[in-house]
Amino acid sequence: MEKTIKEAARVKPSDRQLAWHEMEFYGFIHFTVNTFTNREWGLGNEDPALFDPSELNADQWVEVCKSAGMKGLILTCKHHDGFCLWPSRYTEHSVKNSPWREGKGDLVKEVADACRSAGIRFGIYLSPWDLHEPTYGDSITYNSFFMNQLRELLTDYGDIFCVWFDGACGEGPNGKRQVYDWESYYLLIRVLQPGAVISVCGPDVRWCGNEAGHTRNSEWSVVPAALQDNEKIQEKSQQEDDGEFAKRYDSQDDDLGSREVIRGADKLVWYPAEVNTSIRPGWFYHPEEDDQVKPLDELLEVYVRSVGGNANFLLNLPPDKRGLIHENDARRMSELGQTIMDTYRDNLCAEAVAVASAQMDDRHDANNILDGNLDTYWCPPEGVEQAEIEIDLQEQKTFDRIVLMEQIRVGQRIESFSLEWKDGDVWKPLDQGTVIGYKRICRFGKVTARYIKLTITASRWYPTLTSFQVFSSK
């Protein structure tokens, strides 16, 4: 076995990345002065008096998120226009100079408190680009300003699961281009919120590369460290207010972690993907888009291909001028959550028994994949890269989904697999795929069978599996 492949198999996620993987699906809230000017990107010169939502209710936002099964919410605390949704001590361009709550409001606090009360996690989006701040482009001065604002958000609002940095970068009001001190930003986050992942322009979670909901067939979490290069991330990020950007993706980026790719890498890292898209064409609310909420089938497809394709799903929900998520969006989220729950509620493996072609020892028995405990797992002896596991459901059952999960705490190993069902004495194909990673959802036409076989046809060093679940969609 190549030394590089064994090294790749040993790359593991951090504890904060593991916690992030387990969140799977969470919401994005884009809300600022743009909501009231009907723009996607503000100019930085908007009057704070514009910000005056009449019925703002952060609890409603959180309840809508929960209705879809989301486990967290990320708030755009400051977008590119520089308007702050909290009363920052370092700028006058904030809610403290708006009529909302008579200038005494703090939307970041309201959302953080609503998340905490409802039992979901809270994250922050803070745009490094700031079209309002006059020091933007005077790199040292602005970096100090930005660090001060970041420190406010990291210390005043409780536990934060994610700090989401946009890659957008442009000129400041002074015509200068800013050089961001990323390493200092990261260090501050690590000190003040050590459990928070730093996403997109950060070392913990990578952007999937588009805003169209496109996902890769093979989504590797173990990739060359060069993908963490912020300058390259910024180059591929949106540079101007362009409505077509959200529809683009580059098929040349489809392979980020195959054997061919990692052979030439100087260093490999655990850098998993997040798929982000909006429930509407825009990221901010526009009344003309009320009838353009994504169809349920489209959202379900993105959910299965992201959460079921070793990536997390970040779905944007833009509140309207009232400060509420629109009824159309809320209704669609409830439909989405109900469908997901109905589909993945009843695991048909409850009484099943598993037998593997090989196992490392008694602690790594094949039945570990059926026990519902993500701490236990099956694996064959070291060096065994191919294996079979046969599942006996104990009786004939009808199903059309199989959910597979690797034990990613020890690495991502599986490169290809196939699934079959037994028809009499004949094994017939169900599905085949490449990577599994944290989770893989396999879909196929409904079959009725008692026996299912998983064949791992290629892996790195040796494969692992922590969960095998069988479902029937309604």
Whole-Å CA distances, 210 to 237, 247, 253, 333, 407: 9, 7, 10, 22, 28
387-439: pLDDT as tens digits: 999 999 999 999 999 999 999 999 999 999 999 999 999 999 999 999 999 99
Per-residue model confidence (pLDDT) at position 249? 44
pLDDT value of residue 428: 98
Report pLDDT for 72.
98
- The type of residue at 306 is S
Cα dihedral value 302, 306, 307, 309, nearest 10: 130
**Residue owning tokens 């504890």:** 15
The CA angle 28-30-32, to the nearest 5 degrees, is: 155
pLDDT reported for residue 384: 97
Tokens of 157: 């609002």
Amino acid identity, position 238 = Q
* pLDDT of amino acid 251: 42
Query: Helix, strand, coil shares of the chain as percentages rounded to 5?
Result: 30, 25, 45
Looking at residue 242, its pLDDT comes to: 52
CATH number of the structural domain 3-343: 3.20.20.80
Q: Is 34 helix (H, G, I), strand (E, B) or coil?
A: helix
Q: Consecutive sets of 10 residues in the chain, 474 residues long: mean pLDDT of each?
A: 87 98 98 97 96 98 98 97 98 98 98 98 97 94 98 98 87 84 97 97 89 83 89 55 48 80 92 96 97 97 96 98 98 98 97 97 97 97 97 98 98 98 97 98 98 98 98 94
Domain ranges of the chain: 3-343, 353-471
Q: Which pLDDT score, from 0 to 100, does residue 238 have?
A: 47
Give the per-residue pLDDT at 184: 97
pLDDT at residue number 174: 80
* Domain 3-343 and domain 353-471 have a common topology: no
Encode pLDDT of 89-142 as tens digits: 999 999 999 999 999 999 999 999 999 999 999 999 999 999 999 999 999 999
Q: What is the pLDDT at residue 246? A: 45
- Within 122-264, where are the H helices? 139-155, 182-192, 230-236, 259-263
Distance CA 54, CA 320 (A): 10
pLDDT for position 245 = 41
Measured CA to CA, the distance from residue 279 to residue 284 in angstroms comes to 10
Q: How far apart are CA 308 and CA 166, in angstroms?
A: 25
> What CATH fold (topology level) applies to the domain 353-471?
Jelly Rolls (2.60.120)
- Nearest of 243, 301, 236 to residue 275 by alpha carbon: 301
Do the Cβ atoms of 314 and 74 come closer than 8 Å? Answer: yes
